[in-house]
Chains A and B, each alone.
Chain A
């Protein structure tokens, strides 16, 4: 294959933008499932696209674009989440109250799979979305989460079990408590 030359650059960019555009609905869905808030989700997607465009050179030529973008988005989410917790602590210092929602033991009985899904911890939501909904391979998911394959499998097992229990309307066990 001929290496791209300067005059092809514009064309390449259009092709890339088109590929990115096709994936945006999936990125937004992933982001919503992480943040559970559509405006935060779109910020996350925007920041991830910015990151992707500026780090384009780091993408492996043979790597799947969707998996690469999911990895960026997930990392951005984790970073942002850590920052927001720091910020929340600062607010708490200021106002003398905790503005983060306290960890609540989720004991409400689920009425649908979606409700059950929404009550899972973030990591389990991410995992189930990537595996069950997006159909990414275990290997890709392991790379996105930055964990070994074995860890992905054991987490998937726990996530499936948790979703099953919640969908069945069982009261969640203490191990399903959302840990913030």
Chain B
């Protein structure tokens, strides 16, 4: 039983229908003779009611198929390896302009694995293929891209010159990986083919790489180390210029 006069907590409980019927009646009787408290309670009730009305629209959003439990279950089974990472490393970019949380979450999946420079391939998939993550930097003049990269990776190798193969640097992005901050420079040719140049530190274990090449699905990566960083160039395996690019790399 509440005691009279009621404390503020009782008034809230009244507004929120969390009093027993008996207490509710006691309080109602008391409020009838206490206009100030009654006005406050009415205002709270009104606010709550208006809030309910205002937020009821948010229940009517069009369904998002990605949220279907059955689908999530299936995906979890398919990607049990990845799901922990995605749930645990979810990044919500509530305060980062131009980033949606999902992109950011995918980005956190850009993590080095046993295979060399997997993060470079993942970054290519996210950015070049899925079109996620707006550019941190867009080229508007010659030489800009190199200057942009130099701001972050002062000692890094020069950007490869791929003009002979028809590729020009167009945009740059900064990424966060388990191995440290990374930068990815995207090159494009006139038909919109994309090739990426990726640079990051060798990571906490100082994993320097012998020069190598591997393919992963529809992508191929050339990778190497030098000047204290690891590098990769990623391109689609079916890229007509793929063969052209290879001898052009000055590393």
A→B interface (CB under 8 Å): 13, 16-17, 20-21, 24-26, 28-29, 32-33, 35-40, 42-47, 49-51, 53-54, 76-77, 79-81, 83-85, 87-88, 90-91, 94-95, 99-101, 112-114, 117, 128-129, 131-133, 135, 137-138, 153, 156-157, 160, 163-164, 167, 180
Chain A residues near B55: list those with CB within 8 A.
Answer: 29, 33, 114, 117, 129, 133
Contact present for A84 and B104 (CB under 8 Å) = yes
Contact present for A156 and B92 (CB under 8 Å) = no
Distance between A91 CB and nearest chain B CB, rounded to angstroms: 7
Chain B residues near A13: list those with CB within 8 A.
Answer: 73
Contact present for A133 and B51 (CB under 8 Å) = yes
Contact present for A87 and B176 (CB under 8 Å) = yes
Residue of A at shortest CB range from B106?
A43
Distance between A135 CB and nearest chain B CB, rounded to angstroms: 7
Contact present for B67 and A135 (CB under 8 Å) = no
Chain A residues near B43: list those with CB within 8 A.
Answer: 164
Contact present for B59 and A180 (CB under 8 Å) = no
Chain B residues near A21: list those with CB within 8 A.
Answer: 68-69
B64 in contact (CB, < 8 A): yes
Measured as residues with beta carbon below 8 angstroms from the partner, the interface class of chain B is 35 or more
Partner pick for A36 among B59, B70, B94, CB 8 A cutoff: B94
B→A interface (CB under 8 Å): 8-9, 12-13, 16-18, 43-44, 47-48, 50-52, 54-55, 58-61, 63-64, 66-70, 72-73, 76, 83-84, 86-97, 100-102, 104-105, 108, 136, 152, 174, 176, 181
Sample of 18 A–B contacts (CB below 8 Å): A17-B69, A25-B61, A29-B58, A40-B102, A43-B100, A44-B92, A46-B72, A49-B67, A50-B72, A76-B87, A84-B93, A84-B101, A99-B96, A113-B54, A132-B48, A133-B48, A157-B9, A160-B12
Q: A26-B59, A50-B72 are in contact. Are A39 and B100 (CB under 8 A)?
A: yes
A83 to B152, CA, bound (A): 22
Residue of B at shortest CB range from A100?
B95
Contact present for A163 and B47 (CB under 8 Å) = yes
Chain A residues near B92: list those with CB within 8 A.
Answer: 35, 40, 43-44, 77, 80-81, 83-84
Distance between B50 CB and nearest chain A CB, rounded to angstroms: 4
